Amino acid sequence: MNIGYAVPVDYLMRSGRADKADVLQGTLILLVLRTLQALGPLHGYGIARRIEQISKDVLQLNQGTLYPALLRMEQGGWIASKWGASEKNRKARFYSITTAGRRRLAKETEDWRRMSSTIERFLGFDPGSLAEERG
């Protein structure tokens, strides 16, 4: 369901099907910023693996989704990057959250909590109570 707030983000559900899903705008930003805040600088592959681990493999980020988002986030000033060596001694770009990124994370977190509590109200809402109020 696309209600104007959504942007398509590729991910795999553990059902074994590869689908394009609509994820609320900012969700990938929220996940990446929170991961970097919690774990410190990581390379792109490490960010993707941590998100997969934390989501218990519900979210599978591919390079075509993650790296353009990292570039946009760096251009927006929310993350910074520098070259370093990976665990396998390969050249890798490591990303870290900036002060502006911490502010963005706080806003994204607040927005997500507000939206998820609103959706939760709809899911828990009793249609019979609406009929009683009108009556």
DSSP designation for 42 = E
pLDDT tens by residue, 52-91: 999 888 888 888 889 999 999 999 999 999 999 988 899 9
Strand partners, 8: 22
Could you tell me whether strands 6-12 and 18-24 are parallel, antiparallel, or unpaired per DSSP bridges? antiparallel
Whether 16 has a pLDDT exceeding 80, the answer reads no
16 falls within a domain: yes
Q: Report how far residue 135's alpha carbon sits from residue 128's, in angstroms, rounded to the nearest whole number.
A: 11
Whether 6 has a pLDDT exceeding 60, the answer reads no
Q: Report how far residue 13's alpha carbon sits from residue 33's, in angstroms, rounded to the nearest whole number.
A: 22
Helix (H) or strand (E) holding 25: none
131 falls within a domain: no
pLDDT tens by residue, 28-48: 999 999 999 999 999 999 999
33 falls within a domain: yes
CATH number at residue 63: 1.10.10.10
Looking at the 3D structure of the chain, how many domains does it have? 1
**Interior angle at CA 3, CA 34 and CA 15, nearest 5:** 60
Task: Average the pLDDT over 100-121 and give the result.
Answer: 94
Best CA proximity match to 108, nearest among 32, 7, 4: 32
Q: How far is CA 18 from the centre of its chain?
A: 18
In the structure, what pLDDT confidence band is assigned to residue 125 with cuts at 50, 70 and 90?
Answer: confident
36 falls within a domain: yes
132 falls within a domain: no
58 falls within a domain: yes
Q: Is the CB of residue 100 less than 8 Å from the CB of residue 79?
A: no
Q: How far is CA 41 from the centre of its chain?
A: 17
- What is the residue range of 53's domain? 6-124
34 falls within a domain: yes
134 falls within a domain: no
**pLDDT value of residue 74:** 98
DSSP designation for 94 = E
**pLDDT value of residue 99:** 98
Could you tell me whether strands 42-43 and 18-24 are parallel, antiparallel, or unpaired per DSSP bridges? unpaired
